[in-house]
Every structure is written in structure tokens, then in C-alpha cells.
Structure 1
Amino acid sequence: MVNFGHLLHEWRVAVKKEAKSTGKPQLLLSTATYYKPEVTLDDVYRRYPVKSINKNLDWINTMCYDYHGSWDLSATGTLAALYDPNSSVSTSSGLQSWIKAKIHQEKLVMGLPLYGRTWKLNDPSLYGIGALAVDVGPGIEGAMLYAEVQEFNAQNNAKVVYDEPIVSYYSVAGTSWIGYDDVASVKLKIKYAQSLNIGGYFFWAVNGDQEWKISRQASETWID
């Protein structure tokens, strides 16, 4: 991460040099990051160079999703919960930790998923978040675009559940379980981001939407 900070500085120097030689505006520099500034994947501690990010990047895209997925098939889990009463693995926790690390808030951009993660339930009668699972569910390697989730739900008469405390959706059809975001959860996440006065929000990825139903929320949602 120290070297990453040096690299960001070298890029900014190069961008300034290029702009000066061409007379054009400086190129924008950004990066996609983990949902929080501290990374502990594989039990290896890493911390993003926040000072270098503030100085050299125009913004960062925090990937506030993939909190659970096909890498753990033992139980279902939320893809991108805004809150999690049982752990710090949540979008609110991640964004707050970036702010606590003194990121310039206008450089902080919240990621929103336009896809779902799927599991095959061990027992279809036990289908809540954290229910025992045995394999990935429908889709490619346990993932489906948001549009595909909607089609699957309609075709299979799936039971759709909105978990209000966590701010996340899941659907169940037989042994198939899908965790994802929909209109109501996206609206609340955008309002939350606005309340923090951060730089904005992005979707990964817009081609997963269904008739722009989700992505248009970015321009239609405002704090009351």
C-alpha cells in the first residue's frame, strides 16, 4: 500500500505534465477500492494510503457489495447490506470507516450492485438470511444480473422478501435463494449517501438493469 501511494503520486505528476504539454485539462484519476480503508482478506492486513488518495485522486469508487457470495457456500448472505447488526460488514460501516480515516468526503463514491448472488438451500423450508446452503444457486457461478433476477422471480413465482433493518432483498423459489438490491433498498442507500455528503454513487454495472428501473433512482432520489 505504501508503493500504491507512491504510484498515485507518479500518476498525478504525469497527468499534470501531459496537461501542460498539450494545453488540455488534466485527465481524471480514480480507482476502485475495497468497501472500507482496511483490508483483511486472506488474513493479511493492508490499509489504503488515504493521504495520497486525497492528494492525487479525483475520487474513489468504493465497492460496497460482495459481502457474501459463492466463496462461502455454507449459508446464504446479504450481497450489499446497508446495515448489519451482527457484524461490521456493511455499507454504512464501510463508508463511515473511510470518513473516520479522513478521506475527503467529496472524493468518496458509494458502489451499488446491479446483480444478485445465489445459493442452493439445504432445506427450502428454512430460507432466511444465514440459512444453511449446499451449493451455488441459479446463474453463472452463483451470480445473476438484476434483470435476470427479476425474470427468474416472475417465471418461478418466487417469494420476495425485503429485509427492512438490513436494507436488502432476497427471493426464494424451491431451493434457489438470491440476494440482491431493488428499488426500495437502492433509494434508502442513496439517501444515506446524501446524508453523509459524499461525492456520489455508482452502479456495477449498468447493463444489468431492467429498463433503467434501478439506475434512474440516482437522479430521482432526494432527501426529504
Structure 2
Amino acid sequence: MRLLLAVLLLLAGCSAAPPPPAPAELKVVGYYPSWGTYARDFQVADVAADQLTHLLYAFGKVDDGRCAPGDPWADYGKPAGGNIAELGRLKQRNPRLKILWSFGGWSGSAGFSKAAEDPAAFAESCRALIRDPRWAGVFDGIDIDWEYPNACGETCDTSGPGALAALLAALRGKVGLVTAAVPGDAGKLRKADYAAAARHADWLGAMTYDFYGTGPGRGPTAAHSPLTAYPGIPSPAATAETTVRTLRDLGVPAGKILLGVGFYGRGWTGVAAATPGATATGQAPGRYAPGIEDYEVLSSRCPPTGTIGGTSYAACGGQWWSYDTPATIRIKMEYARSNALGGAFAWELSGDTKDATLLRAMSSVLR
């Protein structure tokens, strides 16, 4: 009997270790874009703040290596104080909500290369900005959306693999919460030291969307934010699962990784097949840019016709779209929970329905 017990204990010790426990409070994070106040008419007051733990206001800009407002009129110039004043009122109604000012973005990341030359000065400028008397107390921290450190996005950076970590380290202790958005592309993740970045950040938000559908639009059609690979996927590594695995392999703790979810779809036109993998003649028309449309519009105009790789797709009138639905978002949130991730974030809230269908699906699993 003792021998049997010893063997069982030995086998238990050799078995694969279970995943680490999930953080005590999983984070439900949403980006509010300053431009939501314009054509989309999605105001700060429209945010379903009770479903969020954190709200990220996008975007401030990095001007000559320093933090600066991104859109002065929308931020604080319009009547009733602008978006930032509205954020303050939203926080008063939801005192547990944390609000961060996000800097950079796809078209606003060029200034980070200059900031990386003097991280201390950059951090001091960010501290001074969020403590400006006009909105003191609104912001609980800074989010860095650098696309991409030591790699190429709209512009290319050659600051070195430690540049992002240096910026986050300089911010630490000066601005409260410190977070960063990081690439979904595994190749770009290997260009910078994201393990070091994670040591100085409260979390890293993995941009696990836009894997496909951002090119000229000739196809093959493919899900833009697959959770897992599927038969016929153009690149088996272009999945959220691969992104998370890469971050973990690089040394980022699971509890500091947030899974990214897009509240929009990517689409093609001139498509004859209802399933993924078909050719197309171009990008499908979108209200604000070709090939992209909000979930609120697609859910009624081109409703889902199938699911693949943990996300949905839709065929209608010669168009083919891929986007997440409440059902696929719940699948992704279960993945985040079962893999002990820190939670998830949405890019971005104005694409949701008026009653926050997608955000509520996120929150229903994580909170």
C-alpha cells in the first residue's frame, strides 16, 4: 500500500503543472476614442461604465518626445468641458472605474522614438499632463500604445529592444497605473523585450485582431481575429492563441496579459463563396474606411452565417465579413479565464450596439 502511494505521488509530481490561478479581479477594459464624439455620436455618457473595470481614453499624442493632448477641441475645448470633463462626471457616477489616458495608436506612434531618447523627461511630461488643474483627479494612469517598438507599423522604429521597458519604468511611480498595448504578431513580439516591459506594467494588452483584411482586398478571405487556427487559414500562427503563447514563452506572466477583442469587422467584396478562403475583388465598403465596419452595423446588415477559429463570419450580397459576436466573445473570455489571463480589453467601444451587447458579453464571463 505504501509502495502504491509512493508511486502515485511520484506520478503526480511528474505530471504537467496546472495553470497558475487567475488574478483575483479579472479586468474588463474598453477604449473610448476621442473621435467617437464626432460622426459616430458616441459620447462619454453613452459608455456602459458599470460593465468596465478600466476605461482607456484614446489618444493623446507624443509631440517632440513629450505627452500632449491629441485633439484639444474634443478633449477639453467643446462645450461643457469636452470629453475629459465628461470622463470626470462618468467617474463620479462610477467611483470604482479607473480611467487611463492612452497615447500613440497606429497613426500616432512616431513620437515614441524621440521619447525613448529621454524616458525620464517623457515620464515627467505625462505626469504633468494628467495632473493639469483643468482635469486633476480624472486620470488614474497612462497607457502606451506604441505601434511598434523596434519594429515597423505606419512608421518604423529602431530604438532597440529595451526602449518600451525604459519608458514604462520611467512612468512607474509617477502616474499611477502603467499599461501598454502590444502587437498580436508573434514576429513583432520578438523584436522587443516584452518580459522587461511587463515587469514595469500593470498589464500588457495584446492586440489580437487585424490578422487579416488590412491589405488590398484580393483575398483569400480569412477571419481577422481568430482565437485558434482552422483548416485553410493563410497562416496558422496568426491567431490569438499563438500571441498569448508567444508572450508566455518570452517570459510575460499570464496574469499580466489581456486578450484583445475588436468591436468591428473586416470585409471583402466580389466574393462568391460563403466560407473562408475565397478570392475577392476588393475591400468591402465601410462608412468611414474601406474594409472595416462597426459591429453595430454588421450585426443587422450582414448577420453571421458561420463560425470558425473561435470567431464569426458572414456572407451577404457578394460581401464577406469576419467579426466577433456575443457568442464568440464569450468563447474568447472563457479562454482568457481558463488560461489565467488578467482579463480582456475592447478596441473600441463606439463599435458596439447602443445597449453594449458585446461589452456585456465580455463582462458576463470575466466579472
TM-score tier after normalising by the smaller chain length:
0.7 to 0.9
Deviations 1:109-138 (A, max 9, x none): 11001000010134x3x2211111110113
1:127 maps to which of 253, 274, 277: 274
Ranges in structure 1 where 5+ consecutive residues have no aligned partner:
19-25, 41-45
1:83 aligns with 2:228: yes
Equivalent residue, structure 2, for 1:147: 296
Deviation of the 1:28 alpha carbon? 1.5
Please tell me whether the aligned partners of residues 165 and 194 of structure 2 are also in contact (alpha carbons under 8 angstroms).
no
Please tell me whether the aligned partners of residues 36 and 95 of structure 1 are also in contact (alpha carbons under 8 angstroms).
no
Alignment of structure 1 residues 63-78 onto 2, 5 Å: 63-75=207-219, 76-78=221-223
Equivalent residue, structure 1, for 2:265: 116
Task: Between 140-149 and 68-77, report the one with greater CA deviation.
Answer: 68-77
Deviation of the 1:77 alpha carbon? 1.1
1:92 aligns with 2:241: yes
Please tell me whether the aligned partners of residues 266 and 292 of structure 2 are also in contact (alpha carbons under 8 angstroms).
yes
Please tell me whether the aligned partners of residues 36 and 97 of structure 1 are also in contact (alpha carbons under 8 angstroms).
no
SS state at 2:331 partner = helix
Query: Which amino acid counterpart does residue 229 of structure 2 have in structure 1?
Result: D
Identity among equivalent positions (%) equals: 22
SS state at 1:38 partner = helix
Say which structure, 1 or 2, has more relative contact order (CA 8 Å, 6+ apart): 1
Equivalent residue, structure 1, for 2:191: 47
How many pairs are equivalent?
A: 202
Deviation of the 1:145 alpha carbon? 0.6
Query: Which amino acid counterpart does residue 8 of structure 1 have in structure 2?
Result: A
Deviation of the 1:72 alpha carbon? 4.3
Alpha-carbon distance in 2 for matches of 1:73, 1:170: 16
Deviations 1:56-77 (A, max 9, x none): 1221110000010131422211
Please tell me whether the aligned partners of residues 311 and 322 of structure 2 are also in contact (alpha carbons under 8 angstroms).
yes
Please tell me whether the aligned partners of residues 68 and 78 of structure 1 are also in contact (alpha carbons under 8 angstroms).
yes
1:12 maps to which of 133, 156, 169: 169
Alpha-carbon distance in 1 for matches of 2:165, 2:192: 11
Deviation of the 1:8 alpha carbon? 2.8
RMSD: 2.2
Equivalent residue, structure 1, for 2:204: 60
Deviations 1:74-98 (A, max 9, x none): 2211010111134111111111121
TM-score (norm 1): 0.81
Alpha-carbon distance in 2 for matches of 1:217, 1:38: 31
Ranges in structure 2 where 5+ consecutive residues have no aligned partner:
1-149, 151-158
Tell me: CA distance 1:7–1:172, structure 2 relative to 1, closer, same or farther (3 Å). closer
Task: Give the number of the structure whose alpha-carbon radius of gyration is greater.
Answer: 2
Query: Which amino acid counterpart does residue 297 of structure 2 have in structure 1?
Result: E
1:34 maps to which of 183, 205, 213: 183
Alpha-carbon distance in 2 for matches of 1:204, 1:13: 26
TM-score (norm 2): 0.51
Alpha-carbon distance in 2 for matches of 1:190, 1:181: 12
Alpha-carbon distance in 2 for matches of 1:201, 1:73: 29
